[in-house]
Structure formats: structure tokens, C-alpha cells
Amino acid sequence: MKRPHRLAVLLSLCLVGGLFSAAAGQAESAGKSFSGAGYPAEDLLQTCQQADNDSRRGTQLEIECEQYLIGYLDALKEVGHFDSKDHGCPPTVNTPDEARWAFMRWIHMDYSQRSKMPTADAVLAMLPDMFPCQ
């Protein structure tokens, strides 16, 4: 991908982030939260765990969990986050399932602290721990 396109994607992500921040401020003042900052890792963890425990909605919940994680990983890859080995090296095979299980294991390693983190921060912190580069 060429740099000008990457810059356009990054600027678009910043614009969307700004819009969500403004909307989140309004939602928080109304007692609601739907932004990344208001989405604790515990909520995604519940979705990921229920994927294996819910016989009726399991597939739907698995897709929901994995889509969040893969979308996040794809965005990081798009902006060049994985150019450095300090940020982890997600697997190239069976990535959605590997990311889901890694996220669940990582949260449970220090549940009382990690479950309260914003989900985006938790995923970012999980990567080098669970997917170290070789």
C-alpha cells in the first residue's frame, strides 16, 4: 500500500475517532456510554466466552468477538503498528480464533485489573504478551 493512501486511512480513522469522542461526551453526560473508552474489556470477554457456552447464539457471539479483534488488528496493521517487533506478531494462520483465545487467556491472567481496562487498551497491551515475535 502506498504512503498517501495509508495517510488518508489514518486521517479518516482520526476523524471517526473524533466524532466518537464527541458523541461519547454527550452519551456520558446522559449517563450512557458506547465509545471505546466506555467499553471495558470485561464486556468483550463475556462475548468471547459466551461464544463457547451458548448453544443458540454461540456462532453469532464468536463472530462478534472475532470481528472486533480482527478489525482492531487490521487497523493496527494498516497504520504500520506491526512494523516493530515491540508490538507483537499476530499469527497469520487461524488469526481470528487465535486472537479470541489469546484475549481471553490474557484477561484472566490478571482479571481484577485487566477486565476493567478499556477494550482497545487491553487488546493493544495483550499483543506483545500473547504474540511475541520470533
Strands (E) located in 29-75:
none
Q: Both 68 and 80 in a single domain?
A: yes
Please write the tens of the pLDDT for every residue from 59-108. Answer: 899 999 999 999 999 998 888 887 667 788 888 899 999 999 999 999 99
Residue 22 has pLDDT above 50, yes or no: no
Domain count, the chain: 2
Q: How confident is the model at residue 4 (pLDDT cuts 50, 70, 90)?
A: low
pTM, full prediction? 0.70
Q: Both 83 and 116 in a single domain?
A: yes
Q: Rounded mean pLDDT of the chain?
A: 79
In angstroms, rounded to a whole number, what is the distance separating the alpha carbons of residues 24 and 100?
26
Q: pLDDT value at position 105?
A: 98
Domain assignment of residue 55, given as a range:
39-134
